[in-house]
Amino acid sequence: MFETLSDRLTSVFSSLRGKGRLSEEDINATSREIRLALLEADVALPVVREFISRIKERARGEEVSKALNPAQQVIKIVNEELVEILGGETRQIRFAKNPPTVIMLAGLQGAGKTTLAGKLARWLSADRNTPLLVAADLQRPNAVTQLQVVGERASTPVFAPEPGNGQGDPVEVARASIEHARHNNHNVVIIDTAGRLGVDSEMMQQAADIRDAVSPDEILFVVDAMIGQDAVNTAQAFLDGVGYDAVALTKLDGDARGGAALSIRHITGRPIMFASTGEKLEDFDLFHPDRMASRILDMGDVLTLIEQAQRTFDESEVEKMASTMSSDDDFTLDDFLQQMQMVRKLGPIGNLLGMMPGMGQMKEQIEGIDDKDVDRIQAVIQSMTDDPGRARQPQDDQRLAPPADRQRFRYRGQRRERPGHPLLRGAEDDAQDEEGRRHERYARYAGDARRRRRWWRRQEEAEEEGQEGQAAQRQPPEGPPAGGRTRGRAQAAPGGGRSADARPSPGPRRRWPAHAAPGSGRAEHARPVELQASQEQVVDAGRPGSPGRPFVCAQV
């Protein structure tokens, strides 16, 4: 069973490699596959037939492209045709010259009208509109209550004079709502009507009556993306019965291919205006035809992936990532780990891969991806030694290098461009700027938040204890410090408690970033002379973007 159109076509063309031009037979074989793919995506049969004939025509006439093989060529044609049918531009709401603008929702039962009404209201409010929701679904039990709750979530007033559950006249409600909106300065009125079937003439008449009573500026036909071949009948029935200006597609967050969108657009000529992609009120946006085309063909959705990335990362992060890649430095395991973690922030990795084109062939492998693997990779990388013979254990670290250089060493451990000997310290000065940036980048992922919290906590504890005059007796926490055991230690007895004067005074130093803060635990080597200077540098390094001395990231 082939999952995607591209798989199907690839299999058709596998025997034809090397052919420059599509023969009639190829085209027929291809069109059969396209037909199947479209039908499986729930594109309505009449639409498929017409579509196929157009594809055939174009495929015959198409110039031989050197860049594309026949399969790709056909897919390109199909994709272009799909986008064209789905409508090029994104359609906007037409607002009435004299408010209120009236938007009426109609559709089958369970298409998601009431929820969409709430989403639409929220979406409109974001653009400084003052929408009013009207509960004209008096049919379904408690539809009115549902709209009231949805209205509350969207913080939009709901006009619901009738209790519903079969009582009251929706036409009257709709009519009264317009007056109500005028009096209360609502510039948009969203009328939620009852779900109805295309064959139910009585209910269709009612919808038409509501339409005539309020003369809406936009009638939206709400349709479920999962709808099958019946989309054509229903869409046509509603077009004849109520007439609508645009379509809103719901439940697009499922894995339905949404061929219905294509069918409805093609049969009725009405554009698809909105797409609703989730249960939350904010999962709602204008419809993008080009992405729908890819979805129908199951060709991946790179644009959505890009948008998701844009939402998740800010520009500076992206830039840093890019500079890491383009800089002369080696791409280390740490960089790799960092990138894996960034990817993970985007969501389940399987989903991300699914959005890439051509991943249909690897569906099973993708399903087997376990996001916990990233954690494992993290554990593996972080338990590695930086350098042969140098474990990332604090003791080793200290044994190998004099304390003054430890931080540089450790830092450079990430980079491999360590000087041959700790005495070659001067050589690194020119690299300080860049290193400052790098250390920030590194610190970002290295669990700094946790370390910072811990440090603050210790400071506060120390403060309290200090007030009680017990500070000097205080024992250090058990085990190696979580991090930041890097610099600024002075006058600490090996393995002993912290001396009171080595602890930073709580006042101004509070602004220090945790990673640069004086370490919390033991420091075997006393460095009284360096203390002052290194603390200053620490403050520098802590300010984003300012050059500073690198700090050492100990184990996370």
Partner 1 sequence: MDITLLAAVAIVVVLLAVGGFFLVRTRRSVAPGKDEAGTEITGKPTAAPPEEDRERDEGTVVTPPSQAPPAAEETVAEPEPAPAPEIETPPPSAGRMVRLRARLARSQSSLGQGLLSLLSSDSLDEDTWEEIEDTLITADIGVTSATQIVENLRTRVKVLGTRGTDEVRGLLREELLAHIGADTDRTVRTEPHGERPAVIMVVGVNGTGKTTTTGKLARVLVGDGRSVVLGAADTFRAAATEQLQTWGGRVGAPVVSKEEGSDPASVAFDTVARGTDEGADTVIIDTAGRLHTKTGLMDELGKVKRVVEKKSQVDEVLLVLDATTGQNGLRQARVFAEVVNITGIALTKLDGTAKGGIIVQVQRELGVPVKLVGLGEGPDDLAPFDPEVFVDALLEG
Contact set with partner 1 (CB under 8 A) = 36, 39-42, 44-45, 108-112, 114, 139-143, 145-150, 153, 165, 197-199, 224, 226-231, 233-234, 237, 250-251, 253-257, 259-260, 279
Rounded Cα gap, residues 297 and 416, in angstroms: 47
Structure tokens at 129: 């509109």
C-beta closer to partner 1: residue 116 or 443: 116
In sequence order, what are the beta bridge partners of 356? Answer: none
Partner residues linked to 322 by β-bridges? none
Q: Which residue has the tokens 């005028």?
A: 182
Q: Which is nearer to partner 1, 279 or 330 (CB)?
A: 279
- Using CB atoms within 10 A of its CB, is residue 141 exposed (0-12), middle (13-18) or buried (19+)? exposed
* Structural contact between residues 450 and 552, judged by C-beta atoms closer than 8 angstroms: no
Query: In terms of CB distance, is 45 or 303 closer to partner 1?
Result: 45
Taking the least distance from each CB to partner 1, the nearer of 187 and 268 is 268
The continuous run of DSSP H or E covering 133 comes out as strand 131-136
φ, ψ dihedrals at 44, nearest 5°: -65, 145
Q: In 3D, which of 434, 400, 425 has the Cα closest to residue 550?
A: 434
Strand partners, 390: 387
Residue 110 or 358: which CB sits closer to partner 1?
Answer: 110
Four-CA torsion 388, 389, 391, 392, nearest 10 degrees: -60
CB of 112 to partner 1, least distance (A): 6
3-state secondary structure 303-324: HHHHHHHHHHCCHHHHHHHHHH
Closest distance between partner 1 and the C-beta of residue 1, in Å? 8
Residue nearer to partner 1 on the CB measure, 241 or 542 = 241
Our CB check for partner 1 shows the closer of 154 and 178 to be 154
Sheet containing strand 158-159, edge to edge, reads 158-159, 131-136, 188-193, 101-107, 218-224, 246-250, 272-276, 284-286
The string of DSSP letters for 172-223 reads: HHHHHHHHHHHHTT-SEEEEEEPP--TT-HHHHHHHHHHHHHH--SEEEEEE
DSSP 361: G
Least distance to partner 1, CB of residue 487, Å: 44
**Residue whose CB is less far from partner 1, 229 or 341:** 229
Residue placing its CB nearer to partner 1 in the complex, 255 or 460: 255
Does residue 267 come out as left (phi exceeding 0), alpha (psi in the -120 to 50 range) or beta? alpha
- Could you tell me the CA-to-CA distances from 507 to 285, 450, 510 in Å, in that order? 49, 21, 6
What is the closest distance, in whole angstroms, from the C-beta atom of residue 136 to partner 1 in the complex?
16
In 339-464, beta strands by DSSP E: none
The most distant pair of C-alpha atoms in the chain lies apart, rounded to whole Å, by: 94
Three-class SS state of 114: helix
Task: Specify the residue, 82 or 260, whose C-beta has the smaller distance to partner 1.
Answer: 260
What distance in Å separates the CA atoms of residue 403 and residue 137, rounded to the nearest whole number? 75
Question: How far from chain centre, in Å, is Cα 362?
Answer: 22
The owner of tokens 């140098």 is 390
Q: How far is the CB of 227 from partner 1 (least distance, A)?
A: 5
Nearer to partner 1, 130 or 145 (CB): 145
